[in-house]
């Protein structure tokens, strides 16, 4: 069976609100072997919503609508879905009575517009809302001669999630044919997307039973593998076999095979080696330390460090010689090395990291342009240093620098 999820609300079409419910629903549907093939966001417009509903009903077995079940004029989901399915609405007196009781318990007078929350599509089963006022609806019916399942859920996550799990999940399990979906995520550090795909495509094209998606971010590539089979074991074997072949091809560039973040993996290695870490950051302004400490238990291996934006603090906190800064500049290979070695000694850590660069958007020169960065990692025996020029926004440059630094630590520990 295949499903479509439709998020409703004009606010979701602005930069200020984001649909997160569909991620939760996709995960739960996949657990049941139901694949989500379409997602859409529709504003509070009855004609548009009815049109989108008709398209969804024509192409998928299960259509889930999220939001638009409240009492206001712009809550139009019930009316629009009923129109698309050519079914009447009826007002349920029991729901109306429950709404009056709910308001009375709060000593608030209920306005008449709340009663529209009691409008139920003909043939639908009501799903009570234990965390809000708007009930959901479950409808198994026919559309253009084909059996469909239509689910109406409230928009707030605190209402949607328990309603779905308590009142829709098992119903779906009962009607979904036996099928299982297994997934794997491989994460690759600091490889261009085109290079990654050129190396991986000849391999994953030979695995017709596995869907492969490549997602690219600053200094990070994710390979999402998904397979469907009659048993979970069969599906898992399909993705595992492909994952192993991709790992063999990409070797040490793969830093995670189970979806872990790079900072988590670095933490694992530090704990396995019984090693400690300290950082001295200039252009990243504490972002590296923030990523490291976002992992629970990082106090076992992360000693701390310093944000050394000024030249004076580079000297005071990491013992970078003033003459070195004067001769080579604060953004230089020499200063990055001195930061890594200096902070390692100051904090008495096993490994020290130094980061310096020009994050932009201003401050660059022809010799040292915006996006130039130097990252060094010292362990007392050898200091590795790398320079990179990264195009893009200030946030992108800063994140890439932390990604480079973390991966250098990982490779040194490996």
Task: Annotate 221-257 with b (16+ C-beta within 10 A) or e (fewer).
Answer: bbbebbbbbeeeeebbebbbebbeebbeebeebbbbb
Distance (Å, rounded) from C-alpha 335 to C-alpha 374? 9
Domain 2-175's class?
alpha beta
- pLDDT of amino acid 259: 87
CATH of 262-413, one of 3.40.50.720, 3.90.25.10, 3.40.190.10, 3.90.950.20: 3.90.950.20
Which CATH number is associated with domain 180-256?
3.30.70.600
- Fold: same for 180-256 and 262-413: no
* Predicted structure pTM score: 0.74
Q: Where are the beta strands (DSSP E) in 100-258?
A: 119-121, 125-127, 136-143, 146-153, 180-189, 210-217, 220-229, 254-256
Name residue 186's beta-bridge partners. 223
Smallest Cα–Cα separation from 375: which of 347, 402, 413, 414? 402
- pLDDT of amino acid 80: 97
Q: Evaluate whether 6 touches 64 at the Cβ level (below 8 Å).
A: yes
Smallest Cα–Cα separation from 64: which of 75, 72, 79, 52? 52
What is the DSSP code string of 333-363? HHHHHHHHHHHHHHHT-SEEEEEEE--SSS-
The domain locations on the chain are: 2-175, 180-256, 262-413
By DSSP bridging, strand 119-121 and strand 89-91 are antiparallel
- pLDDT of amino acid 139: 98
- pLDDT of amino acid 178: 82
Smallest Cα–Cα separation from 152: which of 235, 210, 75? 75
pLDDT tens, residue order, the chain (414 aa):
999 999 999 999 999 898 999 999 999 999 898 999 999 999 999 999 999 999 999 999 999 999 999 999 999 999 999 999 999 999 999 999 999 999 999 999 999 999 999 999 999 999 999 999 999 999 999 999 999 999 999 999 999 999 999 999 999 999 998 888 899 999 999 999 999 999 999 999 999 999 999 999 889 999 999 998 989 899 999 999 999 999 999 999 999 998 899 999 999 999 999 999 999 999 999 999 999 999 999 999 999 999 999 999 999 999 999 999 999 999 999 999 999 999 999 999 999 999 999 999 999 999 999 999 999 999 999 999 999 999 999 999 999 999 999 999 999 998
């Amino acid at each position: 069976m295949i499903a479509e999820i439709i998020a409703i609300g004009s606010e979701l079409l602005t930069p200020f609100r984001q649909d997160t419910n569909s991620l939760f629903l996709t995960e739960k549907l996949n657990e049941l072997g139901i694949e989500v093939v379409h997602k859409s966001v529709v504003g509070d417009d009855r004609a548009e919503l009815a049109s989108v509903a008709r398209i969804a009903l024509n192409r998928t077995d299960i259509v889930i609508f999220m939001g638009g079940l409240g009492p206001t004029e712009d809550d139009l989901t019930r009316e629009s879905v009923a129109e698309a399915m050519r079914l009447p609405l009826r007002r349920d007196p029991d729901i109306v009575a429950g709404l009056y009781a709910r308001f009375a318990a709060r000593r608030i007078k209920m306005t008449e517009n709340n009663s529209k929350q009691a409008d139920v599509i003909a043939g639908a089963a009501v799903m009570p809302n234990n965390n809000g006022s708007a009930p959901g609806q479950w409808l198994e019916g026919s559309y253009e001669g084909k059996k469909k399942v239509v689910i109406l859920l409230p928009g707030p996550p605190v209402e949607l999630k328990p309603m779905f799990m308590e009142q829709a999940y098992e119903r779906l399990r009962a009607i979904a044919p036996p099928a299982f979906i297994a997934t794997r995520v491989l994460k690759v550090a600091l490889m261009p997307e085109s290079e990654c795909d050129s190396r991986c495509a000849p391999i994953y094209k030979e695995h017709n039973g596995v869907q492969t998606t490549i997602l690219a971010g600053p200094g990070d590539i994710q390979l999402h593998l998904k397979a469907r089979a009659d048993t979970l074991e069969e599906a898992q074997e399909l993705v595992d076999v492909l994952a192993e072949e991709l790992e063999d091809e990409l070797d040490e560039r793969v830093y995670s095979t189970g979806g872990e973040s790079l900072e988590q993996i670095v933490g694992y290695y530090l704990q396995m080696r019984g090693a400690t870490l300290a950082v001295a950051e200039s252009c990243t302004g504490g972002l590296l330390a923030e990523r490291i400490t976002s992992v629970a238990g990082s106090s076992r291996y992360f000693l701390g460090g310093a944000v050394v934006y000024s030249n004076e603090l580079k000297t005071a906190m990491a013992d970078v010689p003033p003459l070195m800064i004067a001769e080579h500049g604060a953004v230089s290979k020499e200063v990055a090395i001195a930061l890594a070695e200096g902070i390692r000694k100051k904090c008495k850590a096993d490994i020290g990291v130094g980061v310096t660069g020009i994050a932009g958007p201003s401050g660059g020169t022809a010799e040292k342009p915006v996006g130039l960065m130097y990252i060094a990692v010292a362990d007392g025996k050898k200091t590795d240093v790398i320079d990179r020029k990264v195009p893009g926004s200030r946030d992108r440059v800063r994140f890439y620098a932390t990604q480079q630094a973390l991966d250098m630590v990982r490779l040194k520990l490996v």
